[in-house]
Amino acid sequence: MLSMTGYGKGIAEADYGKCTVEIRAVNHRFLDFAFRLPRGFQFAEDLFRREISLVLKRGRLDVSLVYENSQLLDPEIKLNEPIAKLYIEIGKNLESLGLKNNLGVAELLKFPDVVSTNIGDSIDEKKQAQLIKEASQAALKELIKMRSEEGSRIEEDMRAKLHDISISINKISEIAPFVELEYRQKLFKRVTDMTSKLELINPARLEEELAYIIDKCNIDEEITRINGHIKHFHDIFLECGQIGKKLDFLTQELNREVNTIASKTNNATITKLTLHLKNYIEMLREQIQNIE
């Protein structure tokens, strides 16, 4: 089991440069990327996507790259003044439309092509790509290790909660027959009291109708399905790959069965136990949101 939360850092060096890659991961329904790359390294985005997609299937990943060029003695950063003036002019035009112009130096420097640098210009792109690939693989290895360790902790916690759910379900299973018997006796008494003056009442027919009503309140099937879902949880824990969505579906099914039990019974003890079950299931659901 893999968590979707983690961090990895990888460093790769050669005589022409040093590459540092950091990957931070949080939970997300799909595989989503955010990149922070030096100017001139936009080509690395596709490389990162390919390398990461080979091993990760879900999560939001923030990928940052720092590249130090060993062969560059005099780094230069140049201002593209015509482009900068165009951005400033556009800002003034928008201001005339009633919009607030908060374009400052810091904001202006973030726009594409306002400044240019010679970092990376003297190195072949293929060599840079190889160095980036090595650093990204090292970062991914560290990230997966952390995600695996976190996944193991989540699994241990989920198994404990499933054990608590099993205990509560066993208690409900023990109480249910007595609750059903008590309900049958009370219902039979109320009906017979109401119909005591009617001579045409058929006792056999009355018993049959009461049995039908009581059967509607029987929760044996729900208990059996919940125990089956718990077993399925443990089976899925043994699987490899993406299991988060499967576990999420099972959690929904658990919650549905518990809601059915709560609606079918009118016993204070069972009602209290179903509230505990809903609490455990909600905690399970929160943990599952962080599983790949």
pLDDT in tens, 72-126: 555 667 778 888 888 888 878 878 777 777 778 877 777 777 777 655 555 577 8
Confidence of residue 196 (pLDDT cuts 50, 70, 90): low
Residue with tokens 């309140």: 217
The domain locations on the chain are 77-117, 150-288
- Assess whether pLDDT exceeds 90 at residue 137: yes
Q: Which two three-digit tokens encode residue 77?
A: 């950063």
- pLDDT number for residue 161: 94
Q: Which two three-digit tokens encode residue 72?
A: 């560059």
CB neighbours of 159 closer than 8 A, spacing ≥ 6?
234, 237
Dist CA 222 CA 219 (whole Å)? 5
Dist CA 67 CA 123 (whole Å)? 11
Residue with tokens 């969505």: 245
48 within 8 A of 63, measured Cβ to Cβ: yes
Q: What is the pLDDT of residues 213-250, one digit of tens each?
A: 655 677 888 899 999 999 999 999 988 778 888 999 99
Average pLDDT value for residue range 185-211: 61
Dist CA 284 CA 254 (whole Å)? 10
CA-to-CA separations, 36 to 54, 65, 141, in angstroms, rounded: 21, 6, 20
Closest by CA position to 103, among listed 116, 114, 118, 90: 90
Give the strand order in the sheet containing 59-69: 6-14, 17-26, 59-69, 31-36
pTM, full prediction: 0.66
Average pLDDT value for residue range 14-20: 87
37 within 8 A of 44, measured Cβ to Cβ: yes
